[in-house]
Amino acid sequence: MNVLELINIRKSFGSELVLSDVSLTVPEHTATVLIGASGSGKSTLLRCINLLDSIDDGQIILDGEEISDPLIDVDQVRRKLGMVFQAFNLFPHKTVLENITLAPIKVHGLNPDVATMQAIELLDRFGLSEKADQYPDRLSGGQQQRVAIIRSLAVKPRLLLLDEVTSALDPVLVNEVLAVVRDLKQDGITMVLATHEMGFATQVADEVCFLEHGEIVERGTAGQVLQDPQMIQTKEFLRRVHEAGRL
């Protein structure tokens, strides 16, 4: 069953076309990885799926329901989606625990004790239980991002969107975050993620899409796209990534 289907998505900011005819199918329990240079449209695509940005044309279908319908209740849609941002975006005035339990309590009407228990379970699982009562600014970047991932998991999303979750981190902190994402993939959580970590993409991706100038230029398994690219743009991009020592 397909969790998400994108059909010919088009999006522009003013006169600049940022997504052009993007189509994508995300079956349940799979991970779709978006790669491409900064400004290629990866983040915008994720924000459109989340309805944080509106699309100019095309269709977004989540669990068989068209969510690009203007009459849709966006709050209802977002309850089914989790999103993790490049800059973590934790709430600085709330403790780690409060960050995680806010949505389960206020949006899903969970009993606060139950929500707290579930949050502590998740923190335990990812080795962060000691940090439950800390404020985000007392945590390292890697810890903050893990908390942000837990926060988005706490609402049990149908689909998890991860937007370059390691791009703001020290190289030594990248791995602890990627390990969490690998775990989630093992759990069978359906996700779409944008990343610059090609090695990581190889490990988790069921499908890799290479975007350039808002278009999916090439797609396939990680082996196909990253090891044996067919398109000249993909080859060029991977060459530059390689030069930068990121492959």
52 near other proteins (CB under 8 A): yes
> Applying CB under 8 A, does 102 fall inside the site for other proteins?
yes
| Cβ 84 vs Cβ 47: under 8 Å | no
Strands, E, within 14-151: which ranges? 16-27, 31-35, 57-62, 65-66, 81-84
Looking at beta carbons only, is 30 or 101 nearer to other proteins?
101
Give the one residue of 8, 91, 121, 242 binding other proteins; rule: CB under 8 A: 91
Complex with other proteins: residue 20 or 44, whichever CB lies closer: 44
Kindly compute the dihedral angle of the four CA atoms of residues 27, 69, 90, 190, in this order, to the nearest 10 degrees. Answer: -10
What lies within 8 Å, CB to CB, of 230 at 6+ separation is 218
Strand partners, 82: 160
Scanning 24-32, 88-96, 122-130, 224-232 for contacts with other proteins by CB under 8 A, the matching segment is 88-96
What is the closest distance, in whole angstroms, from the C-beta atom of residue 132 to other proteins in the complex? Answer: 18
Q: Select the residue interacting with other proteins from 87, 120, 241, 247 (CB under 8 A).
A: 87
Asked if residue 13 binds other proteins (CB under 8 A), the reply is no
Q: Which is nearer to other proteins, 108 or 125 (CB)?
A: 108
Secondary structure of residue 51 in the 3-state scheme: coil
What are the helix (H) ranges across 42-87? 42-49, 74-78
SS3 content of the chain, % helix, strand, coil (to 5): 40, 25, 35
Q: How far apart are CA 51 and CA 59, in angstroms?
A: 12
Residue 155 binds other proteins (CB under 8 A): yes
Cα gap 17→20, rounded to integer Å: 7
Q: Is 75 in the site for other proteins (CB under 8 A)?
A: yes
Sequence-distant (6+) residues with CB within 8 A of 242 are none
90 lines the binding site for other proteins (CB under 8 A): yes
Q: Which stretch binds other proteins (CB under 8 A): 105-113, 120-128, 194-202, 213-221?
A: 105-113
Instruction: Please name the residue ranges forming H helices in 35-81.
Output: 42-49, 74-78
Taking the complex as a whole, the smallest distance from the CB of residue 28 to other proteins amounts, in Å, to 21
Between 103 and 226, CB nearer to other proteins: 103
Nearer Cβ to other proteins (93/245): 93
Size of the residue set binding other proteins (CB under 8 A) = 25
Beta-ladder partners of 60: 6
Residue 103 in the binding site for other proteins (CB under 8 A): yes
Alpha-carbon span 169 to 31, nearest angstrom:
22
Name the minimum Å distance from CB 79 to other proteins: 4
Residues forming the site for other proteins (CB under 8 A):
47, 50, 52, 75, 78-79, 81-83, 85, 87, 89-93, 102-103, 106-108, 137, 151-152, 155
